[in-house]
C-alpha cells in the first residue's frame, strides 16, 4: 500500500492535487479563523453557493468558469454584505434569498449556453485529481492576494471580530473591513471550487478553524493548527478516495467533519479533566 502511494506520487495529476490541497489548506486556515471568530459561516455559505452563478456565466460566455466566478463571487459578496447590513430584515433571510438566486442564475446560464456543460460536476462537487497547472497558477495568484491582504489588516480584523461596537467608536471603518473580509471569503471560495466543489466549500472554510480553536486560545496558533488540520484532511481524503475509488471532495469533507465531531468529544473530556483537578 505504501509503495503504491509513492508510485502514484509520480503522476503529474497527483502532484498537482497535492499542491492544490496544500495551498487550499493554508488559505483556509488564514480566512477560516476569521469566519469562525466573526461568526460569518452562514454568509460564507451564501457567497459560496451564489458563485455558481459565476460558473454558469463562464459557460454562457465561453470563458473559463473560474474567471467569471472570481468576479461574480466578489460582486455577490459585496451585495450580500451591504444588503444584509443595511436592510431591516434579518440577515439570514437576505442571505437565503441571494444564495438561491445565485444558484438559479447559474442553472439558467448553463441552460442558455449551447451544447452540454462538461466538467459541471467538478465545479459542484470538486475534483482535485483534475486540477490543471492553469488551475494551480490561478490558485497561487488568489492565495497571494488573500494572504497579503490578511497580513496587512490582521489586527483590524481581530479588533472588528472581537468587539465591533468598540471598533466603530474608535473610528475604525468597520463596515469597509467587513466587506473586505467577505471579498476574501469570496476569493477563497473560488480557490476551493476545484478542491471540494461549491456545495462543500463551506466545510473546508470552517471545519479546520473550528477544530483548531478548541485547542488554543491564541489566534496565531489557531491559524497554524488549522492549516495543519486542513493539510491532514485534504491529503488523507485524497489518499483514501484513491484507495477506495470514491469521490475525493466528499471524502475530504467527511474526514474533516468526523474529525471535528470527534474532537468536540475529546476537548469536552479535556475540559472535564481540567475541572476535576
In the complex, the residues that contact another protein under the rule CB under 8 A are 37, 152-156, 158-159, 161-166, 168-172, 213, 216-219, 222
Q: Which cell is 123 given?
A: 465545479
Specify the residue, 52 or 157, whose C-beta has the smaller distance to another protein.
157
Is-contact 234 25, C-beta < 8 A?
yes
Q: How far is the CB of 92 from another protein (least distance, A)?
A: 18
Tracing cell 475534483 back to the chain, one arrives at: 127
Report in angstroms how near the CB of residue 30 gets to another protein at its nearest.
15
Q: Smaller CB distance to another protein: residue 36 or 247?
A: 36
SS3 content of the chain, % helix, strand, coil (to 5): 85, 0, 15
State the nearest-atom distance from the C-beta of 40 to another protein, in Å: 13
Q: Which is nearer to another protein, 15 or 216 (CB)?
A: 216
Q: How far is the CB of 171 from another protein (least distance, A)?
A: 6
- Which cell is 119 given? 466538467
Query: Which residue reads 490543471 in cell numbers?
Result: 132
What lies within 8 Å, CB to CB, of 39 at 6+ separation is none
Shortest approach of another protein to residue 38 CB, angstroms?
10
Query: Which positions ≥6 away from 273 have C-beta within 8 Å?
Result: none
- Report in angstroms the alpha-carbon separations of 42 from 12, 13, 81, 98, 182: 36, 33, 12, 12, 12
Q: Which is nearer to another protein, 90 or 168 (CB)?
A: 168
User: Closest CB to another protein among 118 and 274?
Assistant: 274
Minimum CB separation of residue 257 from another protein in Å reads 21
Judged by DSSP in three states, 12 sits in helix
Please identify, using beta-carbon distances, which residue of 15 and 214 lies nearer to another protein.
214
Distance CA 177, CA 149 (A): 11
Amino acid at each position: 500500500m505504501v509503495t503504491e502511494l509513492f508510485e502514484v506520487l509520480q503522476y503529474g495529476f497527483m502532484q498537482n492535487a497535492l499542491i492544490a490541497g496544500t495551498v487550499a489548506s493554508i488559505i483556509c486556515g488564514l480566512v477560516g479563523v476569521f469566519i469562525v471568530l466573526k461568526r460569518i459561516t452562514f454568509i460564507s455559505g451564501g457567497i459560496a453557493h451564489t458563485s455558481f452563478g459565476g460558473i454558469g456565466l463562464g459557460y454562457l460566455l465561453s470563458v473559463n468558469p473560474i474567471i467569471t466566478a472570481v468576479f461574480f463571487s466578489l460582486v455577490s459578496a459585496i451585495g450580500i454584505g451591504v444588503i444584509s447590513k443595511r436592510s431591516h430584515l434579518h440577515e439570514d433571510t437576505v442571505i437565503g434569498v441571494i444564495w438561491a438566486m445565485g444558484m438559479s442564475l447559474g442553472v439558467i446560464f448553463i441552460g442558455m449556453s449551447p451544447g452540454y456543460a462538461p466538467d459541471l460536476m467538478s465545479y459542484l462537487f470538486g475534483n482535485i485529481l483534475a486540477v490543471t497547472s492553469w488551475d494551480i497558477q490561478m490558485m497561487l495568484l488568489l492565495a497571494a492576494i488573500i494572504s497579503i491582504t490578511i497580513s496587512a489588516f490582521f489586527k483590524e480584523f481581530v479588533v472588528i471580530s472581537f468587539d465591533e461596537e468598540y471598533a466603530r467608536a474608535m473610528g475604525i471603518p468597520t463596515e469597509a473591513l467587513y466587506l473586505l473580509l467577505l471579498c476574501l471569503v469570496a476569493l477563497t471560495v473560488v480557490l476551493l471550487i476545484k478542491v471540494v466543489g461549491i456545495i462543500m466549500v463551506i466545510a473546508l472554510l470552517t471545519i479546520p478553524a473550528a477544530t483548531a480553536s478548541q485547542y488554543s486560545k491564541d489566534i496565531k496558533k489557531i491559524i497554524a493548527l488549522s492549516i495543519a488540520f486542513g493539510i491532514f484532511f485534504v491529503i488523507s481524503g485524497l489518499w483514501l478516495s484513491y484507495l477506495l475509488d470514491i469521490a475525493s471532495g466528499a471524502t475530504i469533507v467527511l474526514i474533516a467533519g468526523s474529525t471535528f465531531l470527534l474532537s468536540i468529544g475529546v476537548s469536552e473530556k479535556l475540559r472535564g479533566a481540567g475541572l476535576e483537578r
